[in-house]
Amino acid sequence: MDIFDKYQTLAARRAQLLATGTDPFHLEIEDLAGPCEATIAGRRTILLGTNNYLGLTFDPACIEAGVEALRRYGTGTTGSRIANGTYAGHRALEAELAAFMGRRAAIVFTTGYQANLATIAGLAGNKDAIFVDSDWHASIFDGCLLSGAKVVRFRHNDPEDLDRRLERNPTPGGCKLIVVEGLYSMFGDVARLAEIVAVKKKHGAFLLLDEAHSFGVFGARGRGVAEELGVEGEVDFVVGTFSKSLGGIGGFAVSDHPRFELLRVAARPYMFTASPGPATIASVRAALARIAARPELRARLWENARCLHAGLTRLGFELAAPPGPILSIRLPDERSAVFAWNRLLESGVYVNLALPPGTPGGACLLRCSVSAAHTAEHLETVLDRFASLAAALAQPLAAE
């Protein structure tokens, strides 16, 4: 038996994808002409699947901050935060994130994935129970496994089901930790956070909110869904990422808990991973300042999201959620989704192809992410290409 035999089914599905057209998992971006345009297969392509919500990856101040840090501090830290990997920039960013989020303390991680992994596994132990939304991100799933805690899933975005499961699962000698996301990355729906907070208070639980896709996008100051819904004071821990609105790579967690800093010596993914490079930290600091100083970026993002949502709806596409930075189009089956993704790519529009088992409920999706950097011309072109796709989908697909 070969060690890869266990993946025969996966290999067969991948081969079927490759036979249909471009490999979505090895798509090569040959050149970039800004946050929303690239060259793919020699073709000018509008990027509609980047999570670059505020378009800050090409912001001049962010780029210059990264370049200056690269010259001054070099290419990397070559060490973890508890060894030789804490630079002045790391501490400065943590102070700035804490101030921006209105929290007592912040911890910066090397990736957003590790932010969830470290925070969840650091907070929960084998006497605790984690109550997690069933549409959990892989990083949340792995954090729960690493913690050793009892894991209880509740129905997606269902505070009533969460209430029942908290009632049925006492934790003698331990704590209850609820983990939800502010904006869910596949469908683009928003957490029913006010009701979840009420359930949390009823059962004396702690609440961790992953604002990865909602940070910079929701709230008067861009702090996320908790700010938007006025419940920040009831959220115990917030996790976020640098790879969406902040245009970098890395992650963070913030909290008002007086003993939050213990995670630095309790969370293995923090303790044993090399710290983020100086250039990344510098560009993220500049991006955070941009988010604070330029609320018009959020306004432009939402204007674009409403425009695109309305246009796609007029064309007859089924959107999975109301207007927002993530617009996911439901398609009836995998074959239709793969055909549609390839057709759009060939016409110069890149979106995300999202298929089971990576999607909730076995959904087949074209996942679009809107940016403040998309122009009116971009959106007009995108809707024109989707109009052509709608006409093609109305015809029977050719047999394989």
Chain centroid, CA 79 distance in Å? 26
The two tokens of residue 67 are 């370049």
Q: Which bin fits 109, alpha (ψ -120 to 50), beta or left (φ > 0)?
A: beta
Report the C-alpha gap between 88 and 195 in whole angstroms.
40
The span from the CA of 295 to the CA of 135, in Å, is 30
Q: In the annotation, is 200 catalytic? A: no
For residues 245 and 288, the answer to whether their CB atoms sit within 8 Å is no
Residue 217, both tokens: 């996008």
Q: Which two tokens mark 138?
A: 């892989």
Q: How many CA atoms lie within 13 A of 305 on its CB side?
A: 28
Q: Backbone phi, then psi, for 106, in 5-degree steps? A: -140, 150
Q: Strand, helix or coil at 176?
A: strand
Does residue 245 have an active-site annotation? Answer: no
CB 116 within 8 A of CB 251: yes
Residue type, 385: R
Strands 43-47 and 105-109: unpaired
Place of tokens 């930290």: 281
Nearest Cα to 239, choosing from 221, 228, 223?
Answer: 223
Amino acid symbol at 131: F
Per DSSP, helices labelled H in 272-333 are: 278-293, 296-314
Coil vs helix vs strand at 313: helix
Q: Where are the alpha helices (DSSP H) in 205-277?
A: 225-228, 268-271
Annotated catalytic residue within 137, 176, 213, 374: 213
How does DSSP assign 92-127, residue by residue? HHHHHHHHHHT-SEEEEESSHHHHHHHHHHHH--TT
Catalytic residue among 147, 185, 243, 245: 185
CB 213 within 8 A of CB 185: yes
Is position 202 annotated as part of the catalytic site?
no
Catalytic residue from among 176, 244, 309, 378 = 244
User: Which residues are known to be catalytic?
Assistant: 185, 213, 244
